[in-house]
Structure 1
C-alpha cells in the first residue's frame, strides 16, 4: 500500500476527538482482571501521531493491562535501501519505542510482541525480509500481517488494493515461508473475503492464522441498512473458519467505520451498554464457535478510539463475557493472546479452557 493509499484510508476514518470522548465516564469494571491487548498500533503519520506516551495513557486508564502487541500500520518505514526491506523500519521503530518507554515501576509491558508486514507477492523471497524483522525486533517479533483487505466498492475501501492476493501462487510460497520460520499470520479481511481466508487455512493446516476484527462484517456502502442480511452471510463464513482448528479470532475492530455503527455521529460517545447491544451478537457467536481458547479481545487503538474510549471498550468486553467461567474469561482477556503470540509473562500462567 502506497503512502497515498495510507493517507486516503486515514482520511476516510473518523477523527479522534478527545474532548468528545471525555463526555462519557464509567467506573472500571473488574479492575483486577488481567488484560493482554493483542492488537494496537503506534504510528507517526502526517497530522496523526499515536506514540508510546498516548498509548500508555490509554493502557493505564483503569483496566489492568499487563502486556500489549503492536500490529503493523505502515509507519516509519525505512527511507532508503531495497523496497522489500522498507517495512522493517516499522519493527525497528516500535522496538526502540517499547524498549525506551516500558515502565519499570509497573507490570505493563508495551509491545511485548510485534507483528510486522511483508509483500507476500515476493513468494520465496520473503525469507530475508522475515529474517530482518526478527533481527530488528530483538526478541519481540512474532508474526506477519500482509495487506490483503480488498473490496470493489470505493465507498468501503478508498484505495485500489489488488484483488485476490490470497489466491495468488506467490502468496502460497510466502505463507509457507512464514510458517517455516515459526511465525503467526494475522489477516485483516472483510467478510466477503473469508472464503479465500478459509482456503488458505486449509492449504496450511499447521500455520496459526489470526483473523482480525471479528471477521470484518460490513455496514457501509452497498451494505448500509442491510445488517440482517450481512449478519447471516458473515455467520456462514465464520462458521466455516471456526471448523478449521488452526484459526484464531480477534474480537474487536467494530468501532471502525466499516461496520457502520456510526457511534462517532452521536452527541454523546457510546456507553459500554451501547457497545454491548451492538456487538454482542457477533462476539458471542464467535466465542461459541471458536471457543474461548481460540478467541481474544482486542482494542484496535487508536483506530477504534474515534468511536469509544479505552475504558469503555474494555468495560463492554467484560459485560459481553460476564456469564462465562473464570477460565474462559482468562482465555479471552489474556491467555489466548499470550499463547498465540508467545509472550514471556511469568506472572501470567497460560491455561487453555476446554471447549
Structure 2
C-alpha cells in the first residue's frame, strides 16, 4: 500500500522547546502521554510505517515555542535536507497577534510551507459555545489574520471540537479562496448515539462548503486500543458526508502511537474501505493529500 501520511510530527526534545512536552503536562484527550516524551524523527516514522510504502508526509506544527514560529520552519528545513521527509509543512502562526502579517509573509515565502495551524479558542461543551469569543473563529482580530492566508498562498489546518464547526462553516464562506482542512475527523470523542448525532450534523454543515476538506485521523479513545470495529462508523460517515475527493487518511504519529501502532491504524483504514474501488482508495491514502497540500511526488522522489 502506498501512503502519503497527511498528518504527522517530528521533534528532537534536546534541540526543540515544545512546552507541552517539556513543561507541566496539559489535559490531553488520550490521558497520560509520557510515552511520547521522546525524540521522534524521520527514521522513527519510516520504521513505524515499514510495512507500507511511505511516499511522503505532511508535517504539522508541534506547538513549538510560540515566541519563535520561524524557528520550527528553519529546523524542519534541516530535517528535510538530511532525510527527505517531510514532503511539506503546516507551520505555526498566531492569527490574532500583532506579528501575524510578518509571520505569514515569511511562511508564504518558504517553498515547502503549505499552510498554518492555529487552534482557535474552543468551548468545553456544545452548550458553552460563545459567538465571537476572543481567540475564537468569530473574533474580528483572529479573522484579520485569517484574511492574510490566501494572499500568502497558505491553507489553514483547523483543529477544534465538532461543536465549533458551524463557526468554521461561516469562516470558509467568508473566505472562499482559502482551503480549510479539518484535523482529526472533527474530534468525535463522545461515541454515544447523541454525541455521534451532533458530530454528524456539524460535519454536514461544514461539508456543504467546497473549500473544506477533512483528515480522517486522531480517532483514538481514552483507555482503549485503536480498532477498525470501533472506528468503522465514524470513518464511513465522514467519507459519506465529505465525499471521496475531500477525505484523506493520516497517522497523527507519534501522538496516536498512544492508542495503536502504525500497522493497526493503517491496516484498519484499509479494512474499512476495502469495498471501495481501487482508484478511490488511492485517493484516500495518497492522491487527495498530494492534491490538497500541493505535493509533487515526482519532485521528491
TM category (shorter chain) comes to: 0.7 to 0.9
Q: How much does 1:149 deviate?
A: 5.3
Which structure has the bigger radius of gyration?
A: 1
Q: Where does residue 76 of structure 2 map in the other structure?
A: 94
Tell me the distance in 2 between the aligned counterparts of 1:149 and 1:67.
31
Q: How much does 1:127 deviate?
A: 2.4
Q: Where does residue 150 of structure 1 map in the other structure?
A: 122
Tell me the distance in 2 between the aligned counterparts of 1:184 and 1:151.
24
Q: Where does residue 193 of structure 2 map in the other structure?
A: 228
Equivalenced residue count is 271
Q: Where does residue 263 of structure 1 map in the other structure?
A: 224
Tell me the distance in 2 between the aligned counterparts of 1:250 and 1:97.
24
Q: Unaligned stretches of 5+ in structure 1?
A: 1-32, 103-109, 154-161, 220-225, 265-269, 349-355
Q: Are residues 1:72 and 2:61 paired? A: yes
Q: How much does 1:122 deviate?
A: 2.6
| Match for residue 217 of structure 2 among 252, 266, 269 | 252
Alignment of 1:1-355 (within 5 A): 33-43=1-11, 44=13, 45-46=21-22, 47-59=37-49, 61-75=50-64, 77=65, 83=67, 86-102=68-84, 110-122=85-97, 125-135=99-109, 137=110, 139-148=111-120, 150-152=122-124, 165-219=136-190, 227-255=192-220, 259-260=221-222, 262-264=223-225, 275-346=227-298
Q: Deviation per CA, 1:33-62, whole angstroms, max 9, x where unpaired? A: 221001001123434321233222223x21
- Please provide the CA RMSD for this pair: 2.0
Tell me the distance in 2 between the aligned counterparts of 1:212 and 1:141.
17
Is the CA contact (8 Å cut-off) linking 2:96 and 2:143 kept in structure 1?
no
**Distance change (3 Å), C-alpha of 1:311 and 1:336:** same
For the residue of structure 2 that corresponds to 1:121, the secondary structure is coil
Is the CA contact (8 Å cut-off) linking 2:108 and 2:154 kept in structure 1?
no
Moved over 4 A (4+): none
Tell me the distance in 1 between the aligned counterparts of 2:171 and 2:299.
35
Is the CA contact (8 Å cut-off) linking 2:108 and 2:153 kept in structure 1?
no
TM-score (norm 1): 0.72
Is the CA contact (8 Å cut-off) linking 1:191 and 1:218 kept in structure 2?
no
Is the CA contact (8 Å cut-off) linking 1:149 and 1:188 kept in structure 2?
no
Q: Deviation per CA, 1:228-262, whole angstroms, max 9, x where unpaired? A: 1100000000011111111001001012xxx44x2
Q: Deviation per CA, 1:277-306, whole angstroms, max 9, x where unpaired? A: 111111111111211110000100011001
Q: Unaligned stretches of 5+ in structure 2?
A: 14-20, 23-36, 126-132
Q: Deviation per CA, 1:172-198, whole angstroms, max 9, x where unpaired? A: 211111111111100000112111111
Tell me the distance in 1 between the aligned counterparts of 2:299 and 2:124.
46
For the residue of structure 1 that corresponds to 2:235, the secondary structure is helix
Tell me the distance in 2 between the aligned counterparts of 1:340 and 1:37.
13
Q: How much does 1:164 deviate?
A: 5.1
TM-score (norm 2): 0.84
Q: How much does 1:313 deviate?
A: 0.7
Q: Deviation per CA, 1:183-217, whole angstroms, max 9, x where unpaired? A: 11000001121111111111112211000000111
